[in-house]
Amino acid sequence: MFALAAVALAYVAVPLLGLLFEVEWSDLGEQLSSSESLTALRLSLMTSVVATIAVIFVGLPLAWVLARVSFPGRGFVRSFVLLPMVLPPVVAGVALLAAFGRNSAIGGWLHDVLGVQLTFSPAGVVVAQTFVAMPFFVVAFEAALLGRDSQPEEVASSLGADSWRVFTRITFPAVAPAFFAAVALAWARALGEFGATITFAGNVAGRTQTAPLGIYLQLGTDPGAATAMSVLLLAISVGILVGLRGRWLVGR
């Protein structure tokens, strides 16, 4: 048992340590500040933040409805929402293309009427990231809501508070730590998004080339830059894990 457990641990640790050995620490800063890397990082940061805001905006009401409102087919909706979590990201990308590509009904309407093109645009990156990151937020936040006793909420409504006031004053303060954990999970997933992004939004430098895409491309031309950027993404992931310690991933 212990031997196999150690193998599993090593399986996670060895590649990450390899990455740390591979990187040239002396010119890490220089590698990251190259204009190509900076552009990709900036794009990643902006799109993932916008995607995370979008996830919160619609995912929060969804999690609340799933946790608090009983309706026929709730079990089905609950599983359906999780689909992007298990779906191969490239399939997600193809699905998004089918729905929002220029040749699809919705994509065509967006382009012709509103002049918005999602493919090959930063907006498309946001759409792809939102699609894959949403379930992470919904699952985590719904679990937190379900774990709460609903009695204080009932009392609050009996005291004349409407559902918005009950949520903002009673429910949310009680689940705020779990909310931020769920946000961090969704953001991490959006930041690392690769498959759906490259399929749906393409790989246009400066427009849709996010950090993961940049890493993949530079691996052939400039391995040092790719490694440096990988280390930075690893550092962000570790930062998120440390922030979540004991909240969601550990000790539940």
Partner 1 sequence: MRLHASVDRRAGDFHLQADLEVPDGTTTAVIGPNASGKTTLLRVLAGFLRNDNGEVVLGKQVLDSGMGGTYLDPSRRNIGVVPQGYALFENMDSVGNVAFGIQSAGVRRQAARRKAAEFLEAFGLQELSALKPAELSGGQSQSIAVARALAIHPDLLLLDEPFSALDSAARPRMRSQLRGWLAEARTTTVLVTHDPIDALTLADRIVVLEGGRVVQSGTTGDVTSNPRSAHVASLLGTNLLKGEAQGRRVAVRDLRSSAADEARGIDLTLSEGASGAVFVMFAPSAVTLSVSEDVTSARNRILCTVDHLEQLGERVRVSLGGDVHLSAEVTPMAVAELGLAEGSQVWASIKATEISTYPR
Binding residues for partner 1 (CB under 8 A): 149, 151-152, 154-163, 165, 169-170, 173-174
Rg (C-alpha) for the chain, rounded Å, is 21
CB of 107 to partner 1, least distance (A): 41
Closer of 120 and 172 to partner 1 (Cβ): 172
Cβ within 8 Å of residue 109, ≥6 positions away: none
d(CA 190, CA 134): 9
Closer of 42 and 74 to partner 1 (Cβ): 74
- Dihedral angle sign, alpha carbons of residues 110, 207, 191, 171: negative
Closer of 74 and 169 to partner 1 (Cβ): 169
User: Helices marked H in the chain — which ranges?
Assistant: 2-22, 28-32, 35-68, 74-81, 83-86, 89-100, 105-109, 122-146, 151-158, 163-166, 172-191, 195-200, 211-221, 223-244
d(CA 46, CA 53): 11
Map residue 143 onto helix, strand or coil: helix
Structure tokens, 51? 């995607």
CB of 159 to partner 1, least distance (A): 3
CB of 214 to partner 1, least distance (A): 43
Structure tokens, 56? 């919160």
Closer of 156 and 201 to partner 1 (Cβ): 156
CB of 165 to partner 1, least distance (A): 6
Closer of 46 and 161 to partner 1 (Cβ): 161
Closer of 77 and 161 to partner 1 (Cβ): 161
Structure tokens, 121? 């645009």
CA distances from 34 to 38, 229, 230 (A): 6, 11, 14
CB of 166 to partner 1, least distance (A): 8
CB of 173 to partner 1, least distance (A): 4
d(CA 57, CA 73): 23
Closer of 156 and 183 to partner 1 (Cβ): 156
CB of 141 to partner 1, least distance (A): 18
